[in-house]
Structure 1
Amino acid sequence: MKFSINRKKLIYILISAAIIIVGGPWLYTSLFRDKPLNPFNETSINNDGVTATTGEIELSGDWKLIDESQVGYRIKERIALKTFETVGRSSEVTGSLKILDSQITQTTFEVDMRTFQSDSGGRDAQFNGRIM
């Protein structure tokens, strides 16, 4: 049995395949991709009960991160000819630093890298598996 396809049908098939291969991922990333998380916000510290002083403020001493601290990553990725900003964050961070005479003399920070979360479960699986 001989298979025969005319040239016109072959051209239609190839053009359709090219549209699906290029257009499919572009359409998916345009319609279904979530927006990345907003950049970190600076947290204001409640100043109730604090009195103003004159002169220099003494910074020397040991400082620790507060429980609400976060650590994150923000990278650019390219999918289907489009560039996106990807963000992941974790609140599982602890740390401290020591200041002596306006100089940081010692720092310690620890992050549980398994706790990073982004806007995509698939990306989180890659981050926690292949990447880390």
Structure 2
Amino acid sequence: MKKRWWWVIGSVVAVAVVVVLVGPWFYAKFLHGDQPEALGLSDSAAPADASVEIDGAWTVGTGSKAGYEVWETLQGQRVFVRGQTEKVSGNATIESGKLTAGTVDVSVAAIATDDGRRDFQFSNTVMESAKFPNATFTVTDPVDLSALSADGAILTVPISGELTLKSETRPVTADFKIRRAGEGIEAAGAIDVTWSDYQIEKPTMFANIIVEDAGQIQFSVVLSKQ
């Protein structure tokens, strides 16, 4: 009887050890899920239509995406999570080869990851999307686009603006890659964000998963001429 009792105890301890050692690997391998690629310029673009003047009013149109990236750690296993949405709107104005105004609005409730539980917590508890439905990036300083050529070459420029998440607005600057494609303009960039700067609780699906203090807000914007 004693041998059986010690065998039961030993089995429980062995299972606990396996959970501690293998659990993080199992999470990273199976529960984490497949993540989308980081947002950027499309892999291929239509030849630019040189007859379209870049000066004028532009609209954030079909094909635009935005989202966030966070990094999580469970007992040494570090993985990233990306949430994305195509519900992106906005506008831009280019005058004399300079971007003089621009706004990108992102529907927070539409941002989705590989797990609905995480999305529910992110949308309702973390971001309070019913109260703050949009995340917004607004250009504040003119951006010189005079080097943007009709041959589709990629131009990298720093863009300064204000990022609003929930009720907090902060000045930000990030490099964006921009190119002409077809009759439109493509732009993509990532803004580094420290969540506490925006009074945001770090999003996580499980209590024992450590979410890093900083992440990114990513944009892939397609502009169409009005």
TM-score between both structures, scaled by the size of structure 2:
0.44
Partners in 2 of 1:94 and 1:128 — Cα distance? 19
Deviations 1:55-76 (A, max 9, x none): xx84221111122211122222
Answering whether residue 64 of structure 2 is matched by residue 69 of structure 1, we say: yes
TM-score between both structures, scaled by the size of structure 1:
0.70
Identity of aligned residues (%): 24
Counterpart amino acid of residue 83 in structure 2: G
Partners in 2 of 1:89 and 1:20 — Cα distance? 32
* Alpha-carbon distance change, 108 to 28 in structure 1, aligned in 2, over 3 angstroms: closer
Larger strand share, 1 or 2: 2
Deviations 1:29-60 (A, max 9, x none): 3234312112335162466xx5x56xxx8422
User: Once superposed, what is the RMSD of the aligned Cα atoms?
Assistant: 3.0
Cα deviation, residue 129, structure 1: 2.0
Runs of 4+ in 1 over 6 A off after TM superposition: none
Answering whether residue 107 of structure 2 is matched by residue 108 of structure 1, we say: no
Q: Contact conserved, 1:26 with 1:80, CA < 8 A, in 2?
A: no
Deviations 1:60-114 (A, max 9, x none): 2111112221112222221232111211111111011111122221112211100
Counterpart amino acid of residue 28 in structure 1: Y
**Structure 1: where are the runs of 5+ without partners?**
1-7
Partner of 1:125: 120
Answering whether residue 74 of structure 2 is matched by residue 44 of structure 1, we say: no
Answering whether residue 29 of structure 2 is matched by residue 34 of structure 1, we say: no
Deviations 1:3-51 (A, max 9, x none): xxxxx88x9455653442343343233234312112335162466xx5x
Partners in 2 of 1:96 and 1:45 — Cα distance? 21
Partner of 2:83: 88
Partners in 2 of 1:22 and 1:110 — Cα distance? 43
Larger helix share, 1 or 2: 1
Question: Which structure ranks higher in relative contact order (CA pairs < 8 Å, sequence separation ≥ 6)?
Answer: 2
Q: Contact conserved, 2:24 with 2:77, CA < 8 A, in 1?
A: no
